[in-house]
Structure 1
Amino acid sequence: MDKVNLRRRLASARASLSPEQLRANATRVRETLLEQPWVQMAGLVACYWSEGHEPATHGLVLALWKHGATVMLPVLRDDNDLDWAVYDGPDSLAPGRFGIMEPVDTRRGVDAIRTAALVIVPALAVDPATGVRLGRGGGSYDRVLSRVGPNVPTVALLHDGELVEGVPAEPHDRPVRFAMTPSGLTSLM
C-alpha cells in the first residue's frame, strides 16, 4: 500500500475512536511508559503536544514535568524543521503555526534534540519488523530522528492496530526503537 492511502486509512480509523476510547488509550500509554526505568531516569525528554485523534500526550508531558524531567516540545519552523523549547507547565504554551500548541520559552535550536535522553514522536503507523514510522508526510520528525544518538530511546506513540507490516520506506525515513500502544510497549530494534 502506498503512503497516501495508508495515511488516509489510518486517519479514518483514528477518527472513528470515541472520546472515551481516546482517553482510555492515553491513560494506558502514559502509565505503561512511565513504568519504564529508562523513562523514569531520563532527565531531558523531547516529546510533542498531541492534537486531534493522535494518542494524547498532554497528561504524559505534565507527568514527566511533575516528576522532575525537563521536557522539550517542538516549535515548527518555516522550513518544516523542528526547533525546541522547554515546557514549563500548562501556562507556558501558546498556539503556533497551524494552531498547534508550542512552548513560549526561548528556542534552543534544531540541534537541541541531540541532548535528549528520551525522544517521543508521533506516528500514524510503525512497521514492527523495521521500526520505520509513517508520519504525516512533512518529514519533520525524520529530520529530528536523524539527529538523535544511536543509544537514545526513540518511542512512537500509537493506537492499537497501528503496528503495520510493510510500511512503505524511503531513504530519508528514520526508524524508531520502540512503539507504545495501549496494549503495551514493543521493542523494534
Structure 2
Amino acid sequence: MIRLSPGFAINPRFRSDSFVNSQKPPFLSVQIGSQRRNLSRIGSENGDGVAFDAVAYEADRLSLDAAAMEDMAETAKKELESDPDSDPKAWKWVIRKKMWDLMEARNYAMSPRPVHHRIPNFVGASAAARKLAELDAFRMAMVVKVNPDSPQKQIRFLTLSGEKKLLTPQPRLRTGFFSVLESDLLKPETIMEACTSVGVAKYGRAIGLDEKIKVDLIVIGSVAVNPQTGARLGKGEGFAELEYGMLRYMGAIDDSTPVVTTVHDCQLVDDIPLEKLAIHDVPVDIICTPTRVIFTNTPIPKPQGIYWDKLSPEKLRQIRILRELKNRLEKKTGRKLPTGPSEKLPPTAERKRR
C-alpha cells in the first residue's frame, strides 16, 4: 500500500535550491557583505593549526574511490562468472549489473557516471528527497543518519536546513567512523558545502564509539529494492551493514528506528529472494521514489549488531573503528571473537594525513 505524508517546512534562512545533480564544483564563491569569499579557504584546522586542504582532500578521496571501484569491478566479474548455485553472492551481482546497465541504457543515471559499482545517482533524486522530507518520521526526527552518496545529497541538505542534526559516515569508514554536523553551528552560506564529503571533513565533528547519541531516522542508498518485502541491495561493499551494526552496539538505534531509502522507480524489483539474504543485510521500512512513498511492512529481521563470523580479516585490518570495537568486546567478554573468510579488498583504508 502506498501512503503519502504531510509537508515539511525548510528554515527560510537557508536557500532550498536543489543541487543534488549540480555540475558545480564543491568549492563555491559567495557574496558576504561587501566581500567575496572562497569557501575552500573556510573551515577547520588540524591539531597543528594548519588550514584544511580541501583540494588535496578531494583529490585523495577520488583517487581512493577509483581504486575501490576498480577492485569491485574485478570482484563483480569473478562473481558473475561463478556458479550461482555454489556462490552465495553471485545472485546479488546479477541483479546489480542488470540495474546499473538499465539505468545507463535508459539514461536514468545522473553524474557521477557511469553508475556501475556506485549507489547510483538518478533523475528525480531531488523529488525523491522531497517525498522523504514529507514523512512524519523525518519531520519529527532530531538526528538523521544519511549515507554520503550523491543521490542522497539533497536529503543531507534538507536535514541541515530543517535544523536537524546530521550524522554521516566518513567515506568507506576509511578515516574514522561518523561525523556529526549541526546547522546552528554552520554559517548559512556553508550549508550546501557541508553536505559534500569535503564539507563533512571541514565542518563535521568526528565521533567515536562512546558518543551518546540517539538516531531517529536512518537513510541509506540502494542499487535495487523490493517494495513488497523491503529487501535491499547496496553496491556490494557492506558498509551500510557495518554502520548499522556499530550504531546498534552504541545503543543509538534499535529495531524501531525507521530505515528509509530513496531510489528511481526503475530500481524497484521483485527478484530479491528472502531466503538468500544474509543475517546482516539491512531491510528498509520505507521507500521514496520521485513519484511515490511505499511503506514495506518488511518481515525481514533487522541486524542486531556486527556479525564477526561474516567479517573478513582484510576488512577488519582496513577499518580502524572495527578493530577498536572488536578489541573492546574481547576484553569485556574475555574471549576471542570469530572472523569470517578471507577476501581481496581495495586500498580504501589508508589516507595520507594533511
TM range (shorter): 0.7 to 0.9
In structure 1, what is the Cα distance between the partners aligned to 2:212 and 2:98?
A: 31
**2:149 partner SS:** coil
Count of equivalent residues:
178
Q: Does 1:164 align with 2:269?
A: yes
Equivalent position of 1:57 in the other structure: 152
Counterpart among 24, 40, 44 of residue 139 in structure 2: 40
In structure 2, what is the Cα distance between the partners aligned to 1:95 and 1:74?
A: 10
Q: Does 1:17 align with 2:118?
A: no
Corresponding letter in the other structure for 1:103: A
In structure 1, what is the Cα distance between the partners aligned to 2:235 and 2:218?
A: 18
How far is 1:117 from its partner?
Answer: 0.4
Equivalent position of 1:181 in the other structure: 289
Q: What is the TM-score with the length of structure 1 in the denominator?
A: 0.79
Equivalent position of 2:192 in the other structure: 90
Among all aligned residue pairs of Structure 1 and Structure 2, give the percentage whose two residues are the same amino acid: 21
Equivalent position of 1:6 in the other structure: 95
Q: Could you say if the C-alpha distance between residues 175 and 18 of structure 1 is closer, same or farther in structure 2, counting changes exceeding 3 Å? A: closer
* Displacement over 4 Å in runs of 4+: 93-96, 110-114
The runs of 5 or more residues in structure 1 that have no matched partner are: none
- Comparing 69-78 with 144-153, greater Cα deviation is found at 144-153
Equivalent position of 1:121 in the other structure: 220
Q: Flag the structure with higher strand content.
A: 1
Q: Does 1:28 align with 2:120?
A: no
Q: 1:125-169: CA deviations, max 9, x gaps?
A: 112232121001111112233423111111011111212113142
Corresponding letter in the other structure for 2:138: V
How far is 1:68 from its partner?
Answer: 0.6
Q: Does 1:106 align with 2:205?
A: yes
Counterpart contact for 1:73–1:103, Cα < 8 Å: no
Larger radius of gyration: 2
Q: What is the TM-score with the length of structure 2 in the denominator?
A: 0.45
How far is 1:67 from its partner?
Answer: 1.3
How far is 1:95 from its partner?
Answer: 4.8
In structure 2, what is the Cα distance between the partners aligned to 1:84 and 1:185?
A: 28
The runs of 5 or more residues in structure 2 that have no matched partner are: 1-89, 112-120, 298-354
